[in-house]
């Protein structure tokens, strides 16, 4: 029970995450190389995956991507993710 992932799985708090092959393949590459390519079309899947597996490194990558991409035009895209996962996002880019 020291693993958050297995603790959730066996406690009944388990949630199924549906992701596509490319996202999961990229996740596996990140585990081996430390590099990941996050973009506007895959951020929701990556952040769901990070939350499901309790992967803090991936969550940090996702949060950094959102912080760098956040502006008035992208706010409506990212706000649901920020709220759902209670991300602590620096909102200095909103003046753009």
Give the single-character DSSP code of 3: S
Per-residue pLDDT tens for 35-77?
A: 999 999 999 999 999 988 889 999 999 999 999 999 999 999 9
Which tokens sit at 78?
């990212």
State the pTM of this model.
0.78
Query: In whole angstroms, what is the distance from residue 81 CA to residue 3 CA?
Result: 24
Helix boundaries (H) for the chain? 4-11, 21-33, 43-53, 56-69, 75-84
The rounded distance, in Å, linking the Cα atoms of 73 and 23 is 25
Q: What is the pLDDT of residues 82-95, one digit of tens each?
A: 999 898 886 655 65
């Amino acid at each position: 029970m020291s693993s958050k992932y297995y603790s959730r799985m066996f406690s009944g708090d388990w949630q199924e995450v549906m992701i596509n092959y490319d996202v999961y393949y990229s996740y596996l590459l990140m585990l081996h190389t430390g590099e990941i390519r996050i973009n506007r079309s895959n951020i929701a899947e990556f952040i769901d995956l990070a939350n499901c597996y309790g992967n803090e490194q991936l969550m940090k990558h996702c949060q950094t991507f959102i912080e760098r991409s956040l502006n008035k035009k992208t706010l409506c895209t990212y706000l649901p993710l920020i709220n759902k996962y209670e991300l602590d996002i620096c909102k200095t880019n909103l003046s753009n």
